[in-house]
């Protein structure tokens, strides 16, 4: 059954951390981390059965603290990293650790959805990413196409590259760099580029976006005032190696060509409050997803700056190259950038949006009240893109 209707799941806890299970490319699976001060925190494994339009869940206990960020290994389905709060000497620190899920929660082994007494499983701690030495962790990002052995963590004003050794039971600091200068030097987020042999990482701090070379840990580019207020999130275009999206508290989403960062290539101003998240679709990079404190999720068609700016208007047999299109051939205008859909299923700030790693037409969004919504790209547009 393929229906455009959303599927909604309530976690019963506040939550802000969401990731697809990156290494799982067959089953549709998302991981959600809770933020509860009263109870033990949990990671909910959400399996979406798209044939029957139902959600199955497993619960993992994450007893160490509230989860601020969660990311999944690109190589090992069972491994993930969390950033979480812990209090020591009446100071709250955000720490980071790498965990393994138990075998019982492999796809296909979940309890039935109506089983209220479903048991919670325990996560196995693999290693800490040296918690207190560098300050509070903002996020952990995995090398995108790697073997799951390299991660970068951002802690206060430090960018730290780790090698995970001994089956990820040990994290060795391979290299690091620090932000220098005045102002609030604190990283808010980062993304590892899938291009350039995975040697580039982009980070956000305050209103700036910076690019780093992971081999020398030196800065490649800097967009000083990328946004008028705090930059919240970044994402790389999966198909165009120099294209980067950013979003922030100025309610804007901006698209950059990192070879020339004086001006954004494009700016979206569709949200009315802070934009927390921006995500490119992994297969069709004209599809861009954003989530905001205005409680809305917006799916945009950024076709003019995509890897297929003319859509599929020409047959490969007719033209040996896109460039050979004759100027007088104006019969078909290139498609325009537009908002495809605005999703209003949330009643609270949407802190996270992400695409499924198994189904390119499916995405999840998470609001602070613990509501997770699974939606699909509208069918009409899906077929339009495929045709």
Name the token pair of 266: 């494009």
pTM to 2 decimal places = 0.89
Q: Which residues of 176-206 are buried (b: 16+ CB within 10 A; e: fewer)?
A: ebebeeeeeebbbbbbbbbbeeeebbbbbbb
Q: Residue 317 has what pLDDT?
A: 44
pLDDT for 175 equals 94
pLDDT (0 to 100) of residue 114 = 47
* Residue pointed to by tokens 């069918």: 379
Q: What is the pLDDT of residue 218?
A: 95
Is the CB of residue 355 less than 8 Å from the CB of residue 20? Answer: yes
pLDDT, residue 104, reads: 85
Give the number of other CB atoms < 10 A from CB of residue 338. Answer: 9
How much is the pLDDT for 2?
55
pLDDT per 10-residue tile (average), the chain, 387 residues: 79 93 94 88 94 93 94 95 86 91 77 56 92 81 92 94 92 93 84 96 95 96 95 97 96 96 94 95 95 95 87 45 47 76 93 96 95 93 78
pLDDT of residue 1: 44
- DSSP character string of 77-137: TTEEEEEEEEEETTEEEEEEEEEE--GGGSTT-PPPTT-TTPPEEEPEEEEE--TTTT--E
Q: Residue 314: what pLDDT?
A: 38
Sheet with 91-100, strands from edge to edge, namely 67-72, 79-88, 91-100, 124-128
């Amino acid at each position: 059954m393929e229906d455009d209707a959303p599927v909604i799941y309530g976690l019963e806890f506040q939550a802000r951390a969401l990731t697809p299970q990156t290494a799982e490319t067959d089953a549709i699976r998302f991981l959600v981390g809770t933020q509860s001060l009263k109870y033990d925190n949990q990671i909910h494994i959400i399996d979406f059965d798209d044939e029957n339009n139902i959600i199955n869940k497993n619960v993992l206990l994450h007893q160490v603290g509230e989860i601020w960020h969660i990311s999944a290994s690109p190589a090992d389905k069972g491994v993930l990293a969390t950033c979480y709060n812990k209090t020591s000497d009446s100071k709250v620190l955000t720490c980071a650790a790498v965990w393994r899920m138990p075998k019982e929660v492999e796809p296909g082994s979940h309890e039935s959805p109506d089983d209220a007494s479903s048991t919670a499983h325990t996560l196995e701690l693999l290693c800490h990413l040296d918690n207190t030495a560098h300050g509070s962790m903002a996020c952990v990002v995995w090398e995108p196409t790697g073997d799951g052995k390299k991660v970068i963590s951002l802690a206060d004003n430090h960018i730290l590259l780790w090698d995970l050794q001994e089956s990820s039971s040990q994290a060795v600091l391979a290299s690091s760099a620090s932000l220098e200068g005045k102002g609030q030097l604190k990283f808010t987020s980062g993304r590892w580029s899938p291009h350039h042999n995975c040697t580039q990482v982009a980070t956000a701090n305050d209103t700036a976006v910076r690019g780093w070379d992971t081999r020398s840990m030196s800065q490649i580019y800097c967009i000083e005032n990328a946004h008028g207020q705090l930059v919240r999130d970044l994402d790389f275009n999966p198909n165009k190696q120099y294209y980067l999206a950013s979003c922030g508290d100025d309610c804007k989403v901006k698209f950059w060509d990192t070879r020339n960062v004086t001006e954004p290539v494009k700016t979206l101003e569709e949200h009315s409050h802070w934009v927390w998240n921006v995500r490119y679709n992994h297969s069709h990079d004209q599809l861009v997803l954003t989530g905001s404190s205005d409680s809305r999720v917006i799916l945009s068609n950024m076709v003019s700056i995509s890897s297929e700016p003319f859509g599929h208007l020409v047959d490969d047999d007719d033209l040996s190259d896109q460039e050979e299109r004759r100027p007088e051939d104006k019969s078909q205008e290139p498609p325009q950038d537009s908002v495809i859909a605005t999703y209003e299923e949330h009643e609270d700030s949407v802190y996270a949006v992400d695409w499924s790693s198994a189904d390119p037409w499916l995405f999840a969004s998470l609001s602070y009240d613990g509501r997770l919504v699974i939606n699909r790209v509208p069918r009409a547009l899906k077929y339009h893109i495929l045709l």
